[in-house]
Structure 1
């Protein structure tokens, strides 16, 4: 497990629970300041399968959630009785994994008498930009009242959002219509023998390759596609193109240059992601782009994002990596905002919703 501590500040003290996929996250915030952010990952348990297995993830959450909770309380130096509220990811995500977190949160709420807020996982990723993390002292939290285009890229989600207000006005502009970017990285990495998760392996291999060696397709970027899918993403065709290229090389008894394939594949993904995100900023006259989700760890994505946003006069926002991956602090942060805005708690009868729309910040 990993944990970070921060000094206290004014505001509501909220515990956040995140179990949407393969990471058990328990976070505690006071207002917008992170007091604890404990993350327990079950990634190693999924590695031999080449992807996340829902049943394995749910069992891992069951085993990790109590130790993670105890660690977070110790790091933040608070007790359950000190809390003002509890927040939990209600969706979207893996149904079984979500149920573990929702069940634990309901139990804690009933035992402590604290109000419970079921919140949206994707809204949480955007909310991470509004948190202060003392492990990143040179990075100021985002300002309220400034609209943002948010590009969320993870193993299960690739979404482009227009955020006018975090808890009351989030519009889904586009999303993946097949494989998410993270899924494409995992599948191509497996094809190239680079292991799981795919992102780090692709990054390492691509460092020695040329991003222009192979011209792989850019899905949904042709004029005929942009009319109906201007802000949507598709990476299934790219993945298939890589597989067929490797197959042709192999059938022709030619060497597969893994570095060039990895670099060219990565460039295609980055080109599509940032092309559509910057277009959204320009179309909606929003000079701020937020990158969130685990794929933001990709070195090429961050570098090209910095280059292209600077050229376009767009401010680039990237939360600290500990707040980009799935974590409980971002969920607690959304909960704190809901409390501060006077929103009533969620009814205890709410369930886990694996397809919760991003337009719903609270269930």
Structure 2
């Protein structure tokens, strides 16, 4: 894990920001605060709205734990944008520099209790492709007192952070403005007041997320995509949020459904996720692929059934599973440079979402 100062980050975003859009205004009103990342995602509404997952309306774990998970996962993924923003939010809402530094230097030497440490260690594994968490990690969470739904929400928060990290990293979105606020001497002076304001905004955003993603949205999920995961989250308010994101991704027009099915199956295969691989295969069959052609594709990552774009894109998608920051930013420019802005944003959202879903599938091990 790299410290904030050690992260090698591209100075030029993959796409230029699109300012003053209706989507940007709606999200600002919804969250109660501005986020500079919105302008880089606004041309593709479903991707822009996934920013609300940074404030997930969890019901079975604490808000403080969700913040700590965001810090640990963003640090593990070396996401300069998300790591810096999360770090600043923790500082503004009551965490001392000493406590944050302890977490950064050695998680197990911090002053956190065993229950929290177990959850954070699990979250860090969710960010990795090797080793990934397994049934033993789920058992450890249960042993320290987490319920089935609390474990599911820990995994949801960790893997949604992986989504945000990949999206911001691949696009090379600049550091958030909140970092400047946190460094402002006046902000430090009025930190107790700012803490109250931030907590109020956070609570309001989560309440609005509950209204924007009501339980009825679960019924709208794209065919065979994420259905078992959403069912496993049904007792959590995160379920309709994930269902809506998957459906909006599937319906978005900038990349074909065929490309989306290919992406989900390739990423799932790379992460050794049987469920998501099966669901991806089913989606590919709906798009006209024969089983033997899918077998060949997953074995050799090539097929004469692929278009030239698809041949390049599936290799890029696989590269997003395990990467180093400067390398993936360079790779994105090499694979996506010829696309339209909307296509680039959707492509980045798509590979990030495929990683999210395949990593989140660990919660299904609880039912085995």
For the criterion TM > 0.5, the same-fold answer is: no
**Greater fraction strand:** 1
Q: What TM-score comes out, normalization by structure 1 length?
A: 0.32
**Greater fraction helix:** 2
